[in-house]
Amino acid sequence: MFFLALWLLGSNSVQAQDRKWYIPSHAKVQYAGITGWLAVGPGYEIGKKNWWQIDALYGYVPESIGGQRSHHLSLKNTFKLIQPQLSEKFKLFPTLGLTTSFDINGDADWQLASLFYPGYYDITNAIVFYPFGGIGAEYQLSASFIDHIGFFAEGGAYAPHLQDLFIGNVKAKEIFSLGLGINLFF
């Protein structure tokens, strides 16, 4: 909510070049990809050609979709590896990234790794790491309020399942899932 408030305060007039460092550069809306059924939140772009994107997302899963209602807070890091400009207004780029999602429902156990006896469980299940890769696209708009719009599609997997993939326990098609979304840049 804090980030959302900052974005609302700052989004009316500022341009990228004179935006204060704490004003988000964009808002993200994401479907699936471990951040919830639908997740929204502000984001920042950092570095040369804005190659590093950081988003703070609040996600929600309704009972009809998830079997129980749940809320999620996630921190998403997306790296735009190369950003070829396909036309004056359009660019398409591959992405890699890591979503870190935190349990705020009380379903997971923050103390899991230290319960019972050392080594019984390796790590808490209250923090979920979800590496992903995908494609992104950005299109420059003529509208004054939205400077450009971005789309993304990503395939990712729960980190422990990736470990199982590397040691040959599972097949890739069994663990990967999809996240889709849009970014609105102001």
For other proteins, the binding residues (CB under 8 A) are 31-34, 36-37, 59, 61, 64-68, 70, 72, 86, 92, 101, 103, 105, 107-109, 112, 115-116, 125, 128, 134-135, 153, 155, 158, 160-161, 164, 168-171, 173-178
**Is the Cβ of residue 6 or residue 65 nearer to other proteins in the bound state?**
65
Query: Taking the complex as a whole, how short is the minimal distance between the CB of residue 120 and other proteins, in angstroms?
Result: 9
Q: Which is nearer to other proteins, 77 or 125 (CB)?
A: 125
Centre a 10 Å sphere on the Cβ of residue 122 and count the other Cβ atoms it contains.
9
Minimum CB–partner distance for residue 160 and other proteins (Å):
6
| Cβ-based nearer residue to other proteins, 109 or 147 | 109
Tokens of 71: 């809320």
Q: Whole-angstrom Cα distance, residue 47 to residue 121?
A: 38
Taking Cα atoms as reference points, which of 110, 102, 20 lies closest to residue 57?
A: 102
CB of 176 to other proteins, least distance (A): 5
Min dist CB 182 to other proteins, Å, is 15
Least distance in Å: CB of 34 to other proteins? 5
For the record, the structure tokens of 69 come out as 């209602």
Q: How many CB atoms lie within 10 A of CB 142?
A: 7
Using alpha carbons, select from 128, 121, 125, 123 the residue that is nearest to residue 158: 128
Give me the residue label for tokens 């979304």.
Answer: 181
Nearer of residues 19 and 148 to other proteins, judged by Cβ? 148
Nearest alpha-carbon partner for 130 in 181, 96, 169: 96
